[in-house]
Amino acid sequence: MGNKKIIITIDGWSSCGKSTLAKELASALTYLYIDSGAMYRAITLYFLRNHVNWSKDKAVKEALKDIELDYAFNESSQQNEILLNGENVEYVIRDMVVAEKVSEIAAIKEVREFAVEQQRKLGKKKGIVMDGRDIGTVVFPRADLKIFMTADIAVRVERRFKELYAKNPNITIEEVKNNVEMRDYIDSHREISPLKKAADAVVLDNSNMTKDEQLRFAIDLAQKKLGVPA
């Protein structure tokens, strides 16, 4: 697709399939994929494990000094996986205990500044697809292509339930629904960088779309930005 490299942002509601699309799009373009939510989840895991009192600014600042986030490429999953102080936490950060607290922690100013700084560094070379909540609005407001994903709440809950049920058959659909709704509410109502569509983002409602259709839609948009003839 030529030498031009762009920044692509994918924001949207919880459990919309942002990371699935972002991963596939990055792979089709041979771009780097970064899951910004994984950073907030890894920070949350650290706070929980170390009993950090996140209602206190000082405790948060001190804790962030001890956190180092990195990515390592996993040959078998063909993905960059997140490392928290050298430990691969890509899978534990998906647990419900982390999901229950992550929105609260992601709303803290110092936590956001810490994560955004790292996200911007990763985008320096372009050739990146990053997904999250504020990537097109705050992290890369001048990104070349911005996609905003949405889907019916019932569809999103069903998708997340299937994913979590595979790991924990005791989980109920109500628990998942409550968590998705709570995260949507906190993410879109917080004071700093709330989830919202960037004015120049393209909306992708995937309630009734297959994964292939979504990928085609995103590749077409990227090719237009890259000047590739249809």
Collapsed DSSP state (helix, strand, coil) of residue 118 = helix
Q: Rounded distance, CA 62 to CA 68, Å?
A: 13
CA 176 to chain centre: 18
SS3 content of the chain, % helix, strand, coil (to 5): 50, 15, 35
Q: Which CB sits closer to ligand DC, 70 or 95?
A: 95
Shortest Cβ 40–ligand DC spacing (Å): 4
Question: Dihedrals φ, ψ of 76, to 5°?
Answer: -75, -40
Shortest Cβ 229–ligand DC spacing (Å): 33
Q: Which amino acid is at 56?
A: K
Contact 145, 165 (CB under 8 A): no
* Extended strands (E) in 20-78: 32-35, 69-74
Q: Which CB sits closer to ligand DC, 9 or 218?
A: 9
Shortest Cβ 223–ligand DC spacing (Å): 25
Q: Which CB sits closer to ligand DC, 184 or 205?
A: 184
Shortest Cβ 183–ligand DC spacing (Å): 4
Shortest Cβ 6–ligand DC spacing (Å): 19
Q: Which CB sits closer to ligand DC, 37 or 123?
A: 37
Q: Rounded distance, CA 43 to CA 63, Å?
A: 9
The residue to which tokens 């919880």 are assigned: 14
Q: Which CB sits closer to ligand DC, 130 or 222?
A: 130
The residues that touch ligand DC, with contacts defined as CB under 6 A, are 14, 36-37, 40-41, 102-103, 106, 132-135, 183, 187
